[in-house]
A and B are shown apart, each in its own frame.
Chain A
Amino acid sequence: MHISNGIINGPVAGVFAALALAALTFCVLRGRRDLDDRLAPMAGLVAAFIFAVQMLNFPIFTAGVSGHLLGGALAALLVGPWVGALCVAVVLVVQALVFGDGGVAMLGLNITNMALLGTAAAYLLIAGLLRVLPRTPIGLSVTAFVSALVSVVAASQGFVFEYWLGGTTDLGGNLAGLAGTMAGAHLLIGVGEGLITATTVATVAKVRPDLVYALRALKPAAPAPVPAVGGVR
């Protein structure tokens, strides 16, 4: 979902670059509270893992369209929303500067959609779902799947909003068409994102539940008689 140069005009890209920089600075300030000797290497791994899986474009069963993981929900579940957004941003910066993926001038837009919007939408859902769903592997997997799916659709609509502000082609008032096309494709890509996120998080929770940020940070709403997914460390 990386925007290439020339798709959104310069002034709008510049405004979003400033917005993204401000938001990432805030993430650094809040994320430092979470970053300890255990979370820091884990966050490095999450960034590297997202880079790897973003290379794996999968077909989405509509002719000629593929999608890849964005990683916002995965990062939010494993290292929290603040550090998670920074993880996705690191991936996007490396991709833009070294791999020619997404224009450097478009970096603020891409960070806004995938790192900020995607992670924020995911974490809001994670925080809600983990409090009401049972603390079982299935409860965690459902949380991961739903939050990942919604985060991808949210990110795709972030692009539609940006295109409305500064798209370089006059769609002749057919912005709704673009919104529909983007939402439809990304609903299917979101299913892939959901499956990858749920599988990965369930695996980590099985091996090392203490390394799943969301399980540490979010306590169940009611005094749960059921033990946490992996028990305590």
Chain B
Amino acid sequence: MRTRTWGFVAVGLLVALLLAGVVSNYASSQPDGLDSALLKGCTVDPEGEITGGSCPAQQEKAHEVGGPLADYGVAGIDNDFLSTALSGVLGVLLTFAVGGGAFWLLRRRDPAGSGDAGEAARDDRQPAGTAG
């Protein structure tokens, strides 16, 4: 059972890597719903910079961290496609490592529990070589 779940997770992760690594390059670069609502009252040039007027977005301040992957690109890589792709792949792997790792550490391990915990405990008692 657990092997099948890990198989599903591996396939799902591959899909996520393709979405973040390839499809992400075709994403819209227009401001999202919130950003555009905050730009109301301002005029904006094609690069997204505010050129005039008065709007809430003008209060925006710099990000605290920034870092080499800021704004979904890799600092130092000039090719836009490659830069976005690499940052997406790294982000998916990092999120899976952080999230998956934390959830794995937090999971229930009481053998008295119902359902899968009990099942897992029974699996563990099987002699080596006969499991699966």
Contact = CB atoms under 8 A, between A and B. Distances in A.
Interface of A: 1-7, 28, 31-33, 35-53, 55-60, 64-68, 83, 86-87, 90-91, 93-101, 103-105, 156, 159, 163, 167-169, 171, 177-178, 181-182, 185-186, 188-189, 207-208, 211
Dominant SS among interface residues on chain A:
helix
A194 to B, nearest CB: 15
B115 interface: yes
Interface residues of B, number: 68
Contact of B61 (A5, A55, A83, A159): A5
Highest count of chain A CB atoms <10 Å: which of B1, B38, B57:
B38
Contacts of B61: 4-6, 103
Nearest to B64: A104
Contacts of A182: 33-34, 37
6 contacts: A5-B64, A48-B12, A68-B27, A87-B99, A95-B91, A100-B71
B20 A55 contact: yes
Contact of B67 (A6, A90, A98): A98
Interface of B: 1-2, 4-6, 8-9, 12-13, 15-17, 19-20, 23-24, 27-34, 36-38, 40, 55-67, 69-72, 87-88, 91-96, 98-104, 106-108, 113, 115-117, 120
B28 A66 contact: yes
B117 A37 contact: yes
A90 B32 contact: no
Given A52-B17, A98-B67, 14 more contacts: A5-B63, A6-B59, A7-B38, A35-B108, A36-B107, A37-B5, A37-B107, A39-B107, A41-B5, A45-B100, A52-B20, A57-B30, A66-B28, A100-B66
B116 A159 contact: no
Contact of A57 (B20, B32, B63): B32
Highest count of chain B CB atoms <10 Å: which of A32, A55, A103, A168:
A55
B96 to A, nearest CB: 4
Contact of B32 (A39, A47, A49, A66): A66
Nearest to A187: B33
Contacts of A3: 34
A65 B30 CA distance: 5
Contacts of A103: 61, 63-64
